[in-house]
Structures are given as C-alpha cells and as structure tokens.
Structure 1
Amino acid sequence: MQIETIKAYHVVQPFVDGPYRMSKGRVAGAFDAVIVAITSDSGLTGWGEMAPLGNFYSPAFAAGVRAGVIEIAPHLLGHDPRALASIGRLMDTVFKGHPYIKSALDMGCSDLAARAADIPLVTLLGGRESETAELYKVVTHGTVDAMAALAKRIVKDGFHRLQVKVGGNVHDDIERVTAVADSVPKGTVIFCDANAGWTPYQARQFTDATRAIDYTFEQPCTTIDECMSVRRSLDKPMVLDESVASLDDMLDIHRKGAADGLTLKISRLGGVTKTRQIRDLAVDLGFMITVEDTGGAEIDTSAMAHLSLSTPEERRLHAIAFHEWVTVRTASNKPPVSGSRMGIPDGPGLGIDVVPDLLGAPFFEVGS
C-alpha cells in the first residue's frame, strides 16, 4: 500500500455562539482549518484536520499550516501510510519542528491505516475503554454576570463539567469564579483555566482568595517551573496544558511532580501517533488525561473521541465536542453526542464520511 495523492483544503469554520473570548483581549471568531485527503493506490482515502484557535493560543498559525503542508506532502508520496512511526520520522527529517503542520497529515495516515484494516481507529489506539466520554463546556471570559449566566445555562442543559476561563485581572477573576461557583449546583466540576496568563505571584493571589471553592487549577503560568512554584502552596489538583508540547515535557512534569493531570493537544504534539505515545506513557505514570486539540470540525473531533475512548476510563478527565462549536459541516455524519456524553461514529478509521463538495476546491494537490 502506498500514498498516491494528497489534497489539501482550506475551510473557515465560524463559531455558532460568536467570538470566543479569553483573558487579555484574546479573541477568535472562527477555526481556520486545513483538511487533508490522503489517497492510497488501493483507492482508500484517509482524512486529517488541523485548526489553530487564532494566533494567540498555541505556537501555530493557519497560514503556516497551509504553507507547511505544501512543503511536506510531496515527500510522503510512495510511502506506506500504515507505517505511522516511519511517516513521522520522515516528516521530522524533511521539515524541522512545527509539529502542528504535521498533525493533519499524521491524522490522515492514521485514518487510512485503520480503514485499510477495516477497523475503527480506536482499536489501533489500544482498544475501546468505554462507549462514551463525558463532555465539558467552556465558560468564556466576560463580565461577572455574563459568566455566571452562561454557567447556569450550561448546567441547565445537562452538563456537569465547566472550564472557566481566567488569567486576566486577578481580583476581577476571583469575583468571576466566585459568581460562577455560586450559580451552579454543588458537585459541578469546575476547572479554572488561566491559559498561562498569570505570573506565579498573580496565581498565588488567586488561589489564596478562592480556597473555599472546589476546582482544578489549569495552566496558571507559562513555564513548568513557574507552575510548580504555584503548586507547592496549592491545596487543589493542577492540570497542565500549554506546557505539554513533547514527550520530554511530559517526563519533566512527572519528574518534578508539577501536575496531577495533563491536557494533550493533538496538533501541539504533532498528530495522533505522537499523542497516543505520550498518552500511553502518561497513563502508566499515573496522570489523569484529557485528549483534545486546538480546533476543527467533524474530522478532528472524531480523532479526539477515538483517543479519548481508548484512554482508560479511570484515567480520563473529559472531552470536548468541537464540531458543535462551528456553523459549517464537512461530512455527512459526526461524532454522536447524547446529553453530556460523546461517542465515536460507526465505521472503519475515524468513521467520518467526508463530503468533498462541502470543502470547496483544494488549494493544493500532489500525486497522480
């Protein structure tokens, strides 16, 4: 089996609920996605997707993905897409760094490898641990009243897990989180996510003032050492996200005891294959795990779901349904969501039946 053609599409995916807001004025109105179709000489096609959340969330930007895919894709022609480790090494050899550019290509090869075996991708990733994963919803940054009202509405809709965006003015965020916690039933799971927006000084101010609230603290500061300095005086669990960009980062966090859980972003790590590698070792080391990504629609959400459901349930935190965030469709089906839980589509590979006509014309095509 060999890769015969690769096509790449540019699809802008506006948000259903309008602009997505984080602290410090960071805002995005859409996912700016690249979708790749990798077709083998057997006639099978695998699909991959990568979409950054603006230019501020991760060290990735949409124009960089489009330019990088054009550089890497020709080197993959003639190679076996099922040899995922070999494909990864080849991409790292011909294009130094920039893992986010390689993510959609690795995802497409992973989908194609599972389709060739006529099995769902979850089976290749270690096997299905449960039928569905619990979803969380994001309480985006805003006024105290707006955030409390949004949290109340999310819980009314049947969700029990909230990620509350903080990382702005400390005293204002203390007021925001207090209002959110007061507006939802006791037992609602709350994560306070600063997205690396604070100094250790600011993070300690926040944690000291919110000791009476039950929450998990997510990525308060930029570096692992800064987060570790906050953790020393913290009486709550800590999860790191932006700090996990490689296997070395994960091992460094483990050595230092800097976190209880990790959020693994597929594109930040370079694709499904490397995410699975880091996920498996992190599970064995005792971390709680969330597998998600920076954005996308049905294809990327399905990849997140397959990785989530192949994570042991006792080590899994939660998941997110990005395809419900956007106004556009890229496929005739989608990861099934029932209430506050998400499963995976039926069928081999990712299980997603992409409709090429929904993607527009490819901006790049290589191969016969």
Structure 2
Amino acid sequence: MKIDRVVLRHLQMEQKSPFTTSFGTFKMKDFILVEAIDTDGVSGWGESVAFHAPWYSEETMKTNWHMLEDFLLPLTFQSPIEHPDQLNERFSTIRKNNMAKSAIEGAVWDLHTKKQGIPLSQALGGKKKQIEVGISIGIQPTVKDLLSIIDKYVTEGYRRMKVKIKPGWDVSVIAAIRGRFPHIQLMADANSAYTLRDTNLLKELDQYNLTMIEQPLASDDIIDHASLQAQLQTPICLDESIHSLEDTRKAISLGSCKVINVKIGRVGGLTEAVRIHDLCKENGIPVWCGGMLEAGVGRAHNIAITTLDHFTMPGDTAASSHYWEKDIIDPEVTVRDGLITVPDKPGIGYEVNRRLVDSYTVSSKTYRKW
C-alpha cells in the first residue's frame, strides 16, 4: 500500500445519556476519526479512543492529534506498507501514546483488508460468525435506577452485566443486584478506585459469585494486584495496567490476574491485541474486549478482534443505539439476543456515513507525504 493522504477529523457526538465511572461523567464524546487514503483512492478508517481529559490514561484527544501530526503520520508516509503489522515495529521508536498509534494503525488495517477483498476479522485470524456481548452500566443516581436499567438489558438479552463501583457504591450495590438477579453473569469495574487497604471490603464481594472484579487497584500496578488476587476467590481482571505484550507476560508470571480485558486502543493497535490474545491463550487466561464509548468505526474494530477464538467472555460492544441517536456507520451495530452478527464485507464491514461524519465534525486537516 502507498498511503497518499490521511485526513484527521475532530468529531463531537452527544451520548443519549451520561456515563459515570469512579473517575468522571461523560455526556459529550470528542474523538479523532482517521481516514487513510491510498493512491487508488480507497479509504480505510480508524478511531482514536482517547477522551478529552486524561482520566482513563495520560492520553487525550489533543495529545493524540499532536502525536499523529508530528510523529506517527510522518512514519506512516515513510515508505510503502506491505502489511499493517509493519506499523507496530515502525512506531516502536515512539514511547507509549498507544491510542494515537492504534488510530492510524486501525485505518491502515481497514484499508489493507479492503484491498485484499477480505473481512478484517478474517485477516486477524477470527472465525466466529457471531459474538456474545454484554453491556457496561455506569454509576446511577440510586440503586433502584440501576436495578431498573439492568432489568431492561436482561430483557434485551445481553449476556453479561458490568457495573461500575467506587468507595461508597460497592458491596451493598452488588448485594442488591444479586438479590434481584441471582443468576446473571455479573462483574464489577472499579477503574482503580481502591488500594490494598480495602482488601477486606473487596473480599466481601466473593460471596456474590462475580465473573470478575476489573482493575480494583492502581492503573499502573501489577504487584499489588498479585497480592490482592492471592486473597480473593473472585478473579481479578486487569484493564488499565496492560499496555503491551510485555505487560501481559509479567502480569501472568506474577499471578496479578486471572482474566485480561483487551482494548485495542490501550495496547497500541490490532497487531499487539492479537499477540496478547495468543499469549493469554497459551497460558489459559481468558480475554474479552473492553469498550471506550466508541462510535461506529471503533465499535467495528472491536467486533473484528472479538472473533478470535480465545475471546471467550462477552465484551462491552453494545449496540450503537445504546449510545447514539445516530451512529456514523451504515448499518449501525445491532444486538439480538446478546449476539452481534459479524459482517462479511471487506474491511471493517460497515460503510462510513460521510454525511453524518460531516455533521459531527468540528474541524479537520489533511496530511500528505509531499
């Protein structure tokens, strides 16, 4: 592939309802949509999952734009790309900034598979025709509100409920959910809200048969998580702590977790995500695909990676209509009985709706090699 130009667009989309976690509340989603166009005029699409503020990680939408403009796009234009895997090595001179790397790498993967005439899922090694999905539910004003929302999604057939917790909104909330829904797949996501001083509190969650507790401790930690996991019956799932294949290897070696959440943006792209999947498969560590409130392009990439065989747990890839009045892809992502049918068209399998993209675009800039 010879990339002729790349268009970066700053999009702003309003969510249907606010989404609250232990570190903040989101109503408006600002993100970068990346379009890579080759010399034949074929477009590939990627999406930056960085938020507008450094709550989840140190990256933000603005820092991603800077990294793309000043470092990653020049490396992308450096020479023709025979395969998207080459970008992983080409970008290795740039430390971290994984969400920026993933955004352009995802666009190149989409472009490459369109040129090859095959679905992105197939190119990654996926074989599933349908994927199981769960849903992520933010912190609600009251427990009654939360139970009502869970009831709605259980009725809609979602295969797993993930609820956000934080100090003061944890054990009693989980107890209330289990009292109402004794048999659903249920997990708690702490987004690093606790420390080892909260071990006894977290041990109270063992009685509620949770599928996992996601990232209870610090976002850069694997040592304390190992200590905590040794004291819990409930599997710990690492999210923010895992940025690479090497992080994964160390976490497995230390016994820091029993499950790993793979987010494409967090680990630097699809190439690294596949490698993490393969290592976890070798070591018997289940993986699943987490969500970052993606619009349609990022959601399509999540669907593709989830088709790999060791993604054995329902991910966070809910229907487009759960988040947006109108998503930027045609058709939108839909869920039936907790399942998404994997598209079989080349590339990400969905068409980007340029009219809607234009309506959500705040600004854009085109970059060329010359």
- For normalisation by structure 1, the TM-score amounts to 0.91
Q: Are residues 323 and 157 of structure 1, via their aligned partners in 2, closer, same or farther at CA, if it must alter by over 3 Å? A: closer
TM-superposed deviation, 1:82: 3.9
TM-superposed deviation, 1:80: 2.9
TM-superposed deviation, 1:340: 1.2
1:144 paired residue number: 143
Q: 33-42 or 137-146: which moved more?
A: 137-146
Among 214, 221, 237, the alignment partner of 2:217 is 221
TM-superposed deviation, 1:149: 2.3
1:311 paired residue number: 309
TM-superposed deviation, 1:326: 2.3
TM-superposed deviation, 1:329: 2.4
1:43 paired residue number: 41
Contact 2:159 2:314 in 1 (8 A): no
Give the Cα–Cα distance (whole angstroms) in 1 for the partners of residues 260 and 164 of structure 2. Answer: 17
Give the Cα–Cα distance (whole angstroms) in 2 for the partners of residues 343 and 319 of structure 1. Answer: 15
Map 1:49-68 onto structure 2 (within 5 A). Answer: 49-53=47-51, 55=53, 56-68=55-67
Contact 1:99 1:268 in 2 (8 A): yes
Q: Structure 1 unaligned runs (5+)?
A: none
Equivalenced residue count is 359
Give the Cα–Cα distance (whole angstroms) in 2 for the partners of residues 15 and 243 of structure 1. Answer: 27
| 1:8 equivalenced with 2:8 (yes/no) | yes
Contact 1:53 1:295 in 2 (8 A): no
Question: What per-residue deviation string (whole Å, max 9, x for no partner) do you get for residues 152-189 of structure 1?
Answer: 222122223110111222xx4211111111122x3200
Q: Are residues 82 and 168 of structure 1, via their aligned partners in 2, closer, same or farther at CA, if it must alter by over 3 Å? A: farther
1:174 paired residue number: 171
Give the Cα–Cα distance (whole angstroms) in 2 for the partners of residues 112 and 64 of structure 1. Answer: 24
Aligned partner letter, 1:363? S
1:80 paired residue number: 80
Give the Cα–Cα distance (whole angstroms) in 1 for the partners of residues 353 and 58 of structure 2. Answer: 30
Contact 2:286 2:310 in 1 (8 A): no
| 1:187 equivalenced with 2:188 (yes/no) | no
2:318 paired residue number: 321
Map 1:21-36 onto structure 2 (within 5 A). Answer: 21-23=20-22, 26-36=24-34
**For 1:83, what is the secondary structure of its paired residue?**
coil
Aligned partner letter, 1:248? E
Contact 1:15 1:31 in 2 (8 A): yes
TM-superposed deviation, 1:206: 2.8
Q: Structure 2 unaligned runs (5+)?
A: none
2:265 paired residue number: 267
| 1:113 equivalenced with 2:112 (yes/no) | yes
| 1:205 equivalenced with 2:201 (yes/no) | yes
Aligned partner letter, 1:221? L
Give the Cα–Cα distance (whole angstroms) in 1 for the partners of residues 316 and 139 of structure 2. Answer: 20
State the Cα RMSD in Å: 2.0
TM-superposed deviation, 1:322: 6.2
**For 1:15, what is the secondary structure of its paired residue?**
strand
Give the Cα–Cα distance (whole angstroms) in 2 for the partners of residues 10 and 220 of structure 1. Answer: 32
